[in-house]
Structure 1
Amino acid sequence: MTRRELIFPQSFPTIHTERLLLKQATIEDAEDMHIYLSNETVCRYMGIDAHETIEDTKGEIKWYDDIFKKQTGIRWGISLKDNPAIIGSCGFLNLEKQHLRTEIGYELHLDHWRKGIMSEAIAAVLRYGFQEMNLNRIEAIIDPANTASVQLLEKINFVREGLLREYDLGQNGFDDVYMYSILKRDYK
């Protein structure tokens, strides 16, 4: 039996889809990203407070760089092919190399909700994770009140595995979350 191993990219990969460019976010993107990361509606289910300053957003970009350098995750900035401004992000965090498992996270500028953009971005990121990185399992931890995210994940074949009671410590105490996953063998 051959041992399966994670393949982490040596340099930051760029992904092209029909309408999108998924690329590395840089400090030069901070102003564009601050527009949506300072919006409380966008940040409501992200587990972070809406950014108050551009320095908060630069800290987010630094975190993206740090998880890539430490090989614990990879987060792509999302832009439309005809406009280089980053309008959201999507990627992996809490990468478990030994178990070929990771968690997916994402957010999108409010002006671009319900246009299929995040479905397209997640599909590309899943494809990269399963085909290029050799992942076996991708998880999503979702606030049960985030019905748009629940619908999105179920539409792209994630399976709800259960409710994790008081899993996260939020602003108002401990929060329950749904655990979703998709396996390499189930990916279409």
Structure 2
Amino acid sequence: METTYLQEYVRVADRGSFTAAARELHLTQSTLSKHVAVLEREFGAELFVRDRSGISMTAAGKLLYAQALRFANLLAETEALVRSAHEGAEPASASRASRAGSGFTEHAQGMPVRRDTALRCACRRMASKYALDEREVGALVLYLEESGFEAIQAELGLSRDEVAELLGRVYRKIGVGGKQEALDLVYSVSE
């Protein structure tokens, strides 16, 4: 199995759209659809229900989504352990390395969420310049950390529409049209 395809699957699920995910991943929609089809063949299960209103995950798709997030956490934990061993550090237990070195923490729903301290600090510095309130900064940070809408909804106690509206307001305040522009701006303001 191609691990990149799992990451792409998570992105499609988070965005609720092959088109949006393909744009962010710098792939064609056709290529992304083929990669998800490979996963569907490998698992012998349909992962998305596709209709005119968009896509939604099947029961099997939701299970794969949760497992793919756990897999990403395990890869990050492994990377931290290997890096630590390479640098001659005392071998840490897997659970300690996971908490301390991976940059992931567990969300209230048991889903791993990446925590990027540098990004969080940069967003906080940018907040005063663009008059962002705490909720706007929180949504922006979570979105830029690649948290899906469901994780943002759960953490901020908002509906999916409220998350979209909040992120739209942030984008208008900071004058960007997309995630990459927002990332570029965050890091340029903090330099």
Fold shared, TM-score > 0.5 on shorter chain:
no
Give the TM-score normalised by structure 2.
0.26
- Which of the two has higher C-alpha Rg? 2
Question: If each structure's strand is expressed as a fraction of its own residues, which one has the higher value?
Answer: 1
Structure ranking higher on relative contact order (CA contacts 8 Å, 6+ apart): 1
Output the TM-score relative to the length of structure 1: 0.26
